[in-house]
Structure formats: structure tokens, C-alpha cells
Amino acid sequence: MSNLVHKEASLLEVKNLETAFSIDGAYYNAVDKVSFSIKPGQIVGVVGESGCGKSVLSLSIMQLLPKGNGEIRSGEITFEGVQLNQLSDTEMNRIRGRDISMIFQEPMTSLNPVFTIGYQLQEVLFNHMKISKGDARQKSIALLKSVGISRPEKLVDEYPHQLSGGMRQRVMIAMAIACQPKLLIADEPTTALDVTVQAQILELLKTIQEVNDMSIILITHDLGVIAEMCDEVLVMYAGRIIERSDAESLFYKPMHPYTELLLGAIPKMDEEAGMLSSIEGMVPSLKNMPETGCRFALRCPKVKPECSAVTPLLEEVEEGHSVSCILYETSMPRKGVKP
Amino acid sequence: MLKYTIRRILGMIPMLFLISIVVFSLAKLMPGDSLSGEIDPANTDPQYIAEMRDKLGYNDPVHEQYLRWISNFMQGDFGKSTRYKIPASEIIAERMPNTIFLGLMSLLITYVFAFLMGSYAGRKPYTLGDNFISAFNYIGLALPSFIAGVFAIYIFAFNLGWFPSNGSVDISLEQGTLSYWISRFHHVLLPAIVLGALSTASYTQFLRNDIIENTRKDYVRTARAKGTPEHKIYRSHIMRNSIIPVVTFLGIDIGLLVSGAIITETIFTYPGIGQLFLSSVTQRDYPVLMAITMLLSFLTLFGNLIADILYGIVDPRIRLD
């Protein structure tokens, strides 16, 4: 990442975010004291295994948590100086789809089966701009063209079930970029797709990002995708960010034992085929989360006795590289956010 | 779609043929015949009864009786009512408008109330309003129509005097005048409410549950992410999907439109097909009985066809060809 970008103000700033789900009347944090920021034009990857809170984090930013169940308990989400978690639903609707938009993991079910592609594309246009029906149709055809769909004039009148998964995800992307948002949240956009289609979709996202100069939060559990796409990476484990770094130094110099193991679990082409390496154990469930100490301690190969007593903070250890692990002495002045 | 419709209509023919065998057998299996029901056995010459039985063909082999009936039936001759001594088709045609009027009114009540209550309860589940609607619906489901009908007559007709307790129209009024139609409407309202309450209850709960289920669908989240206002999500995205299963009911309702009200019509002594059906059973009036049953079978098949065609219209994923 160039220094120029670093000097700009943040587009999105998340501070001490705690998002909790209520189970039998008690609240359990699925996202625990998460802080990070995104600058304009930046692609930030969020990586972690299933259930680590990456999707909940993105739904918290969009204010799309399931009602009556998930809830932001504390913290701030500031987008262009506006605190999103203070906005009413009506105010948030003006931002969703226009300034921040989102694409989801499941292109098969994310489109409404009973409406045409054109209707669903035009809906986002009608939500946010004054536009005539004819213009909206022309614009939706142009949008489909811009996401690499070859016969957009026909496709606007077709239904989602007539399209392949890759095509549907392209439609979802067209919907997301219709109002030229400043931030796109992509929640595992390629997980449900074939590998060849995955590469095409990622390529498309990168092209659009460059043309529109938008920021992207890319949520994935695929480290290859991170390496391909991202400027900065957040590694999440059990609801917390445990490592934050630019993409390059994360791959060359992973610090947190969890990140090391994650990288070690990627099978390599030139190695003898044998057992795939994996991380022993499981992420503790929300209800059984240890209150103090490092949440990875139970599975960590480098665990020390004090790991379960001291809750590590996310601290900058090297320029632009922060980690939340007591193995690392801070050589830099402490900048970590205290919980 | 036209090709599909024609194929389905052709497919009904063997189905109706099989139904006709069942209908005929059931009628024959009933104890007694029209003579034992009609004639006072104490006062009638047994020889006369035997002669009449022979003349009406009741002593012929069963398959001959069936072939005679079905061949006449296919030529549009449904036989003569043994009770009224006029063609069965005439009696049915005379009763039909009353039944269709009652059926349409009760369907209207059902759909309007089910839609209003179901969409409210689905949008605000587990609230006071939803619980109130649920309670109302469970009472509606639990009360059999013969109880509800009797209580409705007792309270609203006898005690309060709001509605007439029987008949389909005030017979002193001249046919075709405005007051005649008002009187018909007045007569049909109470049985229509009793008849509609049961299906209102089940349709409401069905619509409610379908709306709640659709609220959790991914495409609803997508619509929210586009900044679509909540009321519009319910009105277009969710409602459009929740209507699809209700279409199944509509098909069944077309059959019920004509048959629906056997018990209700009898309690309200409303001169419709249902009442005619029940009295034909007690009088062993086979021609009328079989004609009504065949008619209902046909309408049920027809209703299913309508439902399938409607499916193709409301759900683009279903293609009829």
C-alpha cells in the first residue's frame, strides 16, 4: 500500500464493535471488540474459519443483523463521518445499496425467484435515484454488460433460475455497483462457484474496483483469494481480530500461531501427497467461549501457562503489522486498542 | 400452455370414467332403493312394488344397469329424479345459483379476511395482535360448522334478529328487483360467514407461516442490502412468493364452491346443492345423487387444472409444456 493512501482519512472506521446474539435470554458476543479502518480505494481481506464472526461483522456494518436475535451491543461504526449504528432504518436504507453495498455467498438463493433480473436490477436504481422506467432499463442493460454478460438485452427479461451460478453472481455484482458505491462488502463471493468461475469473478471485482475507485471488504476463508486481491488483511479467530497486516508481510512473515497454521494448511503443488496438515480441535462455541485469556490457547501449539490468564491485545509489533499474542514483545510504542 | 391444457383435459376422460364406476357402485351398495324410501310399505301392494322395481330396471344385472346409466349420462340425460319426477339436471340447475352465490360469498369472506389477518400476523409474529388472530383462528378451526351454525342462528337470528334463520330469499318479493337482491344478500350472509370461518382460519395460519418463512430467505436480505424499504419488501418480495402455495387452495376451492356446504346448507335450510344432496341420500334418489357426485368430481379435477395453470403464471420456475 502506498504511503499516499495511508494519509487519507478513513472511509469506514469500526471501533470496539461488539455484536452479540441472544441465546436463552443471555447475550454472547459473536464479534468481540473489533476495531479496524478502511481507506478509500483499499481492498481489505477478512479471513478466518467458519463461525469466526466474519459474516456477522459484515452484517453489522450493513445493519442487516437478524432482527430480535443479533444486536450491536457497543462500539461505533463510522462511515464518512456518520455513525451507522445510530441511524434509523429509513436513514440506513438511503445508504444501503447507494454508498455501501453487499454481495453474498449464495448466488443461487440471493435473487428473488419470481422477479426478472431486470426488475431486481432496476429496484436498486429506483430506490436511490429519480429515473424513468425506460432509462432504468437501459441502465440495467449497460450494467449487465459491464459485468461481462454477453447478451444483456435478453437477460433482463429472464428469471434467476435460467442462469448459472456464475451468471447470478455477476448479476449480484451488477446490482451492487449500480449506484457506484464507495464501499463494497463481498461476503465469500466465490465460495459457491467453480474454480474457473471463481477466478473470473475475482478478476471482475478487481477491474470494477479500479474503474470505480471503491473500497472492498473481501470476506473469505481462502488465503489464495487474499493473496490475489487484497492490500490489507485482517485475520479473525473466534470473534476477534488476532492479526492485521498488509497482505505481503502476512504471507512472508505470519506472526500469530493461528495464522502460521492457516498458511501451513494450504496444500503445495511441489510437495509429496500425504496427509493434509490441519489445525487440531475446534473453535469454542459462543456459549463456551473463555472469558479471559487468548481464545486460541486451547488449540495453540506454542501455548504458555499465562495464555489462558492474560487477554492479549492487538498491538502493532512492526510497521503496519499488528498481532494479538503474548509471544510478541512490542518494539513499537503501544498503539493497541484496549478492550 | 394451450397444449398442456388440452392434454390435461383429455387426461380427465379416463379419470371420470373410473370415477363413474365408483359412484355407481357406491349408489348400488346403499341399502334400500327409491321405492323402499318412498312408498309406505304398510299400505302398498307388494306386487305393485315388484312390478315397479322391474320396470325401473332394478332387477337387471348390475353391468347392464351401469351401461344404461353411463350411456344416457354421456348423452346429457342424467335420468329422472325418482322423488320430483322431473329430470335431475333441472333440479340441479334450479339449486345451482343459490349454492354458487353462497360459495362465492364465503370465498370472498375467506380470502379478504385471511389475506388481511395473515399478512398482519406474518409481518408482526409473536405480538399481541398475532396471538389474538391465532386464538381467533384456533377457535374457528376447533368449532365444527354444525355447532357454529346452530349458535349463529340462536344468537344472531333468534336473539338479536339481525339475520333470517332460513331460506335463500324472502318469497314475497318480486324477482329481479333491488329489494329482492338485498334480501338474497341478507339471507346468504350468516351461512357464508359460518362456512367461511373455517377456511379463513386455516388460510390465515398458512399465509402467516409462509410469510415468516420467506422473511428469512436470502433474497429478502439482498433486497434489504439494496436499500429497499421494509414495507415494500413485504408487499412485493415476500407477498409475491407467499401467494404461490395459496394457489393450491384456490384449485380445491373451485370444487368446494359447488359442494362445500352440505352441512351448513342443511342447518340454515338454504335451498342449495348441498341440501339437495343430503335429502337425495335419505330418499335414495339415485339419479340426482349420481349426477351431483359426478359434477363434483368433474369440478374437483377442473379445479386442480386451474390451480396448475395458475402455478405456471405465478411461479416462473414452473413451465407448463
A168 touches chain B (CB under 8 A): no
Residue B2 CB partners (closer than 8 Å, separation 6+):
none
Burial class (CB in 10 A: 0-12, 13-18, 19+), A20: buried
B221 vs A106: CB contact, 8 Å cut-off? no
Which of B225, B244, B314 faces A64 most closely, judged by CB atoms?
B225
- For residues A45-58, give the mean pLDDT: 90
Which of A89, A96, A115 faces B226 most closely, judged by CB atoms?
A96
**In a 3-state reduction of DSSP, which class is residue B112?**
helix
Residue of A nearest to B238 (CA): A112
Three-state SS letters, B36-85: HHHCCCCCCCHHHHHHHHHHCCCCCCHHHHHHHHHHHHHCCCCCECCCCC
Q: Can you give the pLDDT at residue A336? A: 46
Q: H or E segment at B220?
A: helix B218-225
B222 vs A90: CB contact, 8 Å cut-off? no
Q: Which of A21-25, A31-35, B14-18 has the lowest mean pLDDT?
A: A21-25
Which of A102, A114, A123 faces B315 most closely, judged by CB atoms?
A114
Residue B303 CB partners (closer than 8 Å, separation 6+):
B250, B251, B252, B253, B254, B255
Pairs of CB atoms within 8 A across A/B: 78
Q: Can you give the pLDDT at residue B122? A: 92
B227 vs A128: CB contact, 8 Å cut-off? yes
Phi, psi of B37 (to 5 degrees): -80, -30
Mutate to test the interface with B, among A67, A79, A112 (most CBs of B within 10 A): A112
- Residue with the three cell numbers 352465490: B101
Residues pairing with A221 in the sheet: none
pLDDT surpassing 60 at residue A331: no
Residues of B whose CB is below 8 A from A67: none
CATH topology of domain B96-314: MetI-like fold (1.10.3720)
Residues of B whose CB is below 8 A from A104: 218, 221-222, 225
| Min Cα separation A189/chain B (Å) | 13
B227 vs A110: CB contact, 8 Å cut-off? no
- For residues A185-189, give the mean pLDDT: 92
Residue of B nearest to A94 (CA): B227
Residues 203-222 of B with CB under 8 A from A: 216-219, 221-222
**In the numeric block, which cell numbers belong to residue B54?**
322391474
Q: Can you give the pLDDT at residue B260? A: 59
A96 touches chain B (CB under 8 A): yes
**In a 3-state reduction of DSSP, which class is residue B87?**
strand
Amino acid identity, residue A246?
Answer: D
* A19 closest CA partner among A4, A5, A30: A30
- For residues A65-76, give the mean pLDDT: 87
Residues of B whose CB is below 8 A from A128: 227
Residues 247-276 of A with CB under 8 A from B: none
Count of Cβ atoms closer than 10 Å to residue B67 Cβ:
12
Residue A147 CB partners (closer than 8 Å, separation 6+):
A170, A171, A173, A174, A177, A204, A208
B226 vs A161: CB contact, 8 Å cut-off? no
Do you know the residue count of chain B? Answer: 321
User: CA-based angle A163:A168:A171, to the nearest 5?
Assistant: 120
Residues of A whose CB is below 8 A from B315: 113-114
Residues of B whose CB is below 8 A from A110: 218-219, 221-222
Three-state SS letters, chain A: CCHHHHHCCCCEEEEEEEEEEEECCEEEEEEEEEEEEECCCCEEEEECCCCCCHHHHHHHHHCCCCCCCEEEEEEEEEECCEEHHHCCHHHHHHHECCCEEEECCCCCCCCCCCCCHHHHHHHHHHHHCCCCHHHHHHHHHHHHHHCCCCCHHHHCCCCHHHCCHHHHHHHHHHHHHCCCCCEEEEECCCCCCCHHHHHHHHHHHHHHHHHHCCEEEEEECCHHHHHHHCCEEEEEECCEEEEEEEHHHHHHCCCCHHHHHHHHCCCCCCCCCCCCCCCCCCCCCHHHCCCCCCCCHHHCCCCCHHHHCCCCCCEEEECCEEECCCCCCCCCCCCCCCC
Residues of A whose CB is below 8 A from B311: none
A102 touches chain B (CB under 8 A): yes
Residues of A whose CB is below 8 A from B219: 109-113
Residues of A whose CB is below 8 A from B246: none
Count of Cβ atoms closer than 10 Å to residue B132 Cβ:
12
Which of A94, A114, A159 faces B227 most closely, judged by CB atoms?
A94
Q: Can you give the pLDDT at residue A277? A: 78
What percent of chain A has pLDDT above 90? 56
pLDDT digits over A104-126, tens only? 988 889 999 999 999 999 999 99
Q: Where are the domains of chain B?
A: 31-77, 96-314
Asked if the ipTM is above 0.95, the reply is no
User: CA-based angle B265:B106:B264, to the nearest 5?
Assistant: 20
B263 touches chain A (CB under 8 A): no
pLDDT digits over A80-97, tens only? 999 999 999 999 999 999
Burial class (CB in 10 A: 0-12, 13-18, 19+), B100: middle
Q: Can you give the pLDDT at residue B307? A: 86
Do you know the residue count of chain A? Answer: 339
Global pTM reads: 0.82
Residues 221-250 of B with CB under 8 A from A: 221-230, 236-237, 240-241, 244
Spatial distance between the Cα atoms of B205 and B200, rounded to a whole number of angstroms: 9
pLDDT in tens, chain B (321 residues): 788 888 888 988 999 999 999 988 888 888 776 666 555 656 667 777 778 777 777 778 888 888 888 888 888 888 888 778 888 888 888 888 888 888 889 999 999 999 999 999 999 998 999 999 999 999 888 888 888 888 888 999 888 888 888 887 777 777 778 888 888 888 888 988 888 888 899 899 999 999 999 999 999 999 999 999 999 999 999 999 998 888 878 877 877 777 657 888 888 888 888 888 888 888 888 888 888 888 888 888 888 888 888 888 888 888 777
| Min Cα separation B235/chain A (Å) | 13
Mutate to test the interface with A, among B226, B231, B246, B310 (most CBs of A within 10 A): B226
Which of B216, B219, B227 faces A112 most closely, judged by CB atoms?
B219
Q: Can you give the pLDDT at residue B78? A: 82
Q: Where are the domains of chain A?
A: 109-173
A124 touches chain B (CB under 8 A): yes
Residues of B whose CB is below 8 A from A140: none
pLDDT surpassing 50 at residue A5: no
Spatial distance between the Cα atoms of B211 and B143, rounded to a whole number of angstroms: 26
Residue A226 CB partners (closer than 8 Å, separation 6+):
A45, A47, A218, A220, A233, A247, A250
Give the dihedral sign, CA A320/A326/A328/A330: positive
Q: What is the C-alpha radius of gyration for chain A, rounded to an integer number of angstroms?
A: 21
